[in-house]
């Protein structure tokens, strides 16, 4: 591999619980219970798409912008000091020092994740960042990974995609990428399927830090 594309939430950041907390707080203020099927539905959506879905699903009177603003008020504070997963920074620095081209492919919004990258001092390691709202389709399809690879001048067959969610791993694999599934508590129920689908399964970045077998 000559390049790598990283998801953020659940892959580099310990952040999926933050989104669950934001959703739970938002819905509870409207006397709506947070259910697993709702969480499953929105986890691959970008912010505006999730707001439109939430408004439609629960017949809310608020505009999508009002819904997004309420979420963002909660999320921005959490992301200002968002921690990385153990050994993630060390692994990224190792790859960068070795000349591996790095990109981000995320469902998150730039105003949310850019402060977290700066907080963890890794913003300078990436040559490109692509959000799903910049491509035609979401992470159930390879579009965002293909665009990220294009921006760093990499062909899919020479590029690894790091993801934590099963549909995203399947999409990257369909796009011709080497796939590395990163364990996250939020995807525990898909652990067996991730192990059988991805080319590599990581419980910790320490595993590839000690033995950088991909690059």
Tell me the CATH number at 47: 1.10.150
Q: Is residue 171 part of a domain?
A: yes
**Phi/psi at 18 (5° precision):** -65, -40
Which residues neighbour 127 within 8 Å (Cβ) at sequence distance 6 or greater? 101, 102, 103, 151, 152
Question: What DSSP string describes 11-48?
Answer: TTBS-HHHHHHHHHHHHHTTT----HHHHHHHTTS-HH
Same domain assignment for residues 170 and 180: yes
Residue ranges in the chain whose pLDDT is less than 70: 212
Which among 44, 79, 114 is the end of a domain? 79
pLDDT value of residue 212:
67
Could you tell me the residue range of the domain that residue 131 belongs to?
3-15+82-210
Angstrom distance (rounded) from CA 165 to CA 173: 12
pLDDT value of residue 17:
81
Which among 63, 79, 95 is the end of a domain? 79
Angstrom distance (rounded) from CA 50 to CA 38: 10
Sequence-ordered alpha helix ranges (H) in the chain: 16-28, 36-42, 47-58, 64-79, 88-97, 110-119, 143-151, 166-174, 191-197, 206-210
Same domain assignment for residues 27 and 113: no
Which among 35, 61, 79 is the end of a domain? 79
pTM strictly above 0.75: yes
Task: Please report, for the domain that includes residue 194, its CATH number.
Answer: 3.40.50.1000
The pLDDT tens digits for 33-64 are 999 999 989 988 888 999 999 999 999 999 99
pLDDT value of residue 145:
98
Same domain assignment for residues 8 and 100: yes
Same domain assignment for residues 112 and 202: yes
């Amino acid at each position: 591999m000559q390049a790598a594309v990283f998801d953020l939430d659940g892959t580099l950041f310990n952040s999926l619980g933050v989104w669950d907390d934001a959703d739970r707080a938002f819905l509870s203020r409207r006397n709506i219970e947070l259910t697993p099927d709702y969480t499953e539905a929105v986890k691959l959506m970008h912010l505006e798409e999730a707001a439109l879905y939430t408004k439609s699903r629960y017949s809310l009177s608020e505009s999508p912008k009002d819904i997004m603003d309420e979420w963002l008020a909660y999320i921005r504070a959490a992301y200002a000091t968002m921690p990385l997963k153990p050994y993630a920074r060390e692994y990224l620095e190792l790859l960068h020092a070795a000349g591996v081209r790095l990109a981000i492919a995320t469902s998150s919004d730039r105003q949310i994740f850019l402060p977290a990258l700066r907080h963890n001092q890794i913003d300078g390691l990436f040559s490109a960042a692509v959000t799903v709202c910049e491509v035609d389709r979401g992470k159930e399809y390879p579009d965002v990974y293909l665009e990220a690879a294009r921006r760093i001048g990499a062909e899919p067959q020479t590029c690894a995609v790091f993801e934590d969610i099963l549909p995203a791993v399947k999409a990257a694999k369909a796009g011709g990428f080497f796939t590395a599934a990163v364990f996250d508590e939020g995807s525990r129920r898909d652990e067996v399927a991730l192990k059988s689908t991805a080319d590599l399964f990581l419980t910790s970045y320490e595993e590839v830090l000690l033995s950088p077998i991909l690059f």
